[in-house]
Amino acid sequence: MAGRSGGELAAAVTLGGGLGMFGAGASSSPEWIIDNARTAERIIGAESQRDPRTYGIGLMLWALADHPEQWEAVLEARPKVASLSFGDPAPYVAAAHEAGISVVTSVNDLAQLRQALDADVDAICIQGTDAGGHTGRIGTMPLMQLALDYLEVHAPGIPTAVAGGIGSGRGVAAALAAGADAAWVGTALLASPEATGSAELKAAAVKTGSKHTVLTDIYDRAEQVQWDTEKWPTRTVRNGFVDAYAGLSDSGEVSDAELIAARGEGGDFAGDLKLHAGQGISLLRAELPAAEVVRQLASEAEKFLQRLSNGRQKD
């Protein structure tokens, strides 16, 4: 959730019973990372008995080659968890462990899963294409089955989370019932007051249906982000810019220069909101505090898992 999360959101999720995370964008400064880490620590320490470091920071591996100062900031902040995704985490794991930081990596296919295991990461997040923002191309349900089957044989016991399209207790229960240890949510928190973003954006998120999200590379191209958009496209909400150019980009009929110009000097296209979100956005029905969202997800999931358990007992 780079651009939509910070220390306040991470702290709120932790206080709600989860493990709160905030994501750094490719251009996030080390000062921004440290400031938000300290914000999370301050809130968690003041409002609970939990270790103030009970939060995580997410980084995009492809960006670290050009911005190693981001990694230095994370090592200085020393969160409980660092999420290192979209690349090979191997060069960073040893330093993280020396700093007392556990490493989780999001994977979008089995090749990435094997790479993460070879890097000796501490946990795996199985992220399906249903997820918002940068993601892969395999659906959450089939990828979850493939990855959990593989891990059961090759890395039994490694903690796992499932991400992509999970926006209710049913989704959380499905991930847990399949054998994962946790569910990872982002879109479900987009409208929370602790998330960053304008009131207009949060209101739009609540009104958006899943059919209004698409996979595209046009934002990365327009913003001149240099990475593998074929492997990792972006799931975003449709708007005028997306409708006008996503199809042209897919067919190779529009240049980077045209996309840059189309975004306009202010970074927008005809006033459109840029909103990266997953297909679970249709489950987002209210602007609820993040801690309340987490508690609702947990309570609903417990209900469905209990129902499943009771059904098995009857057999």
For the CA atoms of the chain, what is the radius of gyration?
19
- pLDDT at residue 99, as a whole number: 98
What's residue 199's pLDDT? 85
For the chain, 315 residues long, the average pLDDT of each consecutive 10-residue run is 86 97 92 97 94 96 92 98 97 98 98 98 98 96 98 98 97 98 96 88 81 88 84 91 88 88 68 86 90 97 92 55
Q: What is the DSSP string of 177-237?
A: HHT-SEEE-SGGGTTSTTS-S-HHHHHHHHH--GGGEEEESHHHHHTT--S-TTTS-EEEE
Q: Residue 271 CB: number of other CB atoms within 10 A? A: 9
The H or E element that residue 104 is part of is strand 102-107
Instruction: Answer whether residue 204 is part of any domain.
Output: no
Shared domain for 122 and 256, answered yes or no, is no
Sign of CA dihedral 168, 173, 174, 176: positive
Are 117 and 246 contained in the same domain?
A: no
CATH of residue 127's domain is: 3.20.20.70
- Please check whether residue 271 lies inside any domain of the structure: no
| Residues 253, 147 share a domain | no
What is the structure's pLDDT at 21? 97
Number of domains the chain contains: 2
pLDDT for 309 equals: 84
Interatomic CA distance for residues 294 and 313, integer angstroms:
28
| pLDDT value of position 129 | 97
Shared domain for 120 and 41, answered yes or no, is: yes
129 is a domain residue: yes
Residue 103's DSSP bridge partners are 82
pLDDT of residue 314: 47
- Residue 57 and residue 48 in contact, taking contact as beta carbons nearer than 8 Å: no
CA neighbor of 221 nearest in space, from 250, 251, 262, 259? 259
Distance CA 277, CA 236 (A): 5
For residue 224, the number of C-alpha atoms closer than 13 Å in the C-beta half-sphere is: 6
The rounded distance, in Å, linking the Cα atoms of 139 and 284 is 20
Convert 72-111 to b/e letters by CB count within 10 Å (16 or more is b): ebbbebebbbbbbbbbbbbebbeebeeeebbbbbbbbbee
Q: Two tokens at 204?
A: 């739009």
Report residue 58 CA to chain centroid gap.
Answer: 8
pLDDT score at 80 = 98
What pTM, to 2 d.p., does this model score?
0.91
Q: Do residues 166 and 131 lie in contact, with contact meaning Cβ atoms separated by under 8 Å?
A: no
Residue range(s) defining the domain that contains residue 233: 209-263
Over the stretch 135-179, which tens digit does the pLDDT of each residue have?
999 999 999 999 999 999 999 999 999 999 999 999 999 999 999
d(CA 245, CA 48): 48
140 and 231 together in one domain? no
Helix (H) or strand (E) holding 173: helix 169-178
